[in-house]
Every structure is written in C-alpha cells, then in structure tokens.
Amino acid sequence: MKVVLQRVLEAQVTVADKVIGKIGQGLLIYLGVSATDGLEELSWLAEKVAKLRMFDNPSDGETKTALSIKDIGGPALVISQFTLLADTRRGRRPSFTAAAAPTQANELYQRFVQQLGGHLPVQTGEFGADMQVSSVNDGPFTLVIEHPSPGSLA
C-alpha cells in the first residue's frame, strides 16, 4: 500500500459536477493498493496515518509537527488512486501491473476508510470514478508512505 498525505486547509472531490466529499483543515489522502496488500498492511497504514504528527501545536511556538490529525480532531478526504503503483522504470508508458485488481482494491480501500474512520471523520471519493480533486495545501506539507517501507523498520 502506498499513500500520499497532504496537509490541507480545505479539499473537495467532485464526480459528474457534484461535490461528493469536502473537508476543511485536515488531510487529503491518496491511497494506492497493490496486488500483494492485505489486512496487515491496511491496519498498519491506517494507524500510521491517524497518529503521524503533521500539524503544529498553536500553543507551542517552538514545536513543529507536534500533533496528529487525530490529536486535532481533523477530518480526512480519502481518494483511491491506483496510479500511485505505476512502474515508470522502462519506456514511456507507465505499467500498472503492481496495482491490485479493482475488486481487491475496492475492498481494501473501503476497509481502510472504515478503519481510519474509527480515529477521525472521513470523507471519500467514489472508487473507480473519474474524479476532480481540488485542494488548498497547507505548507505545502506532503508525505509519501509505503508499507512495507523499503529499507525501514516500520
């Protein structure tokens, strides 16, 4: 699994000219599911995202990134994005063979949303739809997290 986390002041997702998800200050999360992902990766990643300190503490002018999204009670907007699993090492056309099949990806996407929702308010896009996502990045502050993380201790 791979996520791109963006700290935002606001974000929204539109499908067929209708806003289906909208948040204020919080996290915009793009989630990519690989063919080898399962519940272990999902649980690890949902916990990591909920507790990762990406927000400043307004009462502490010295400490940056002291609070998590869970700590501030902020929302998340989660968007499925299989293109995060693109392999661009060869040629000029990305290969998406590492991405999970739609049925598996949708199931793990829904479970990720549900598990993250146990920690904080969550809005979503529409799995498999042509979506337009807009956001106002805060910072900008963007992180990419993978599980398993190459060369890390998790």
Active site (catalytic) residues: 81-83
Give 120's contacts (C-beta < 8 A, 6+ positions apart): 26, 50, 69, 70, 73, 74, 75, 76
Give the pairing type, strands 18-23 and 2-15: antiparallel
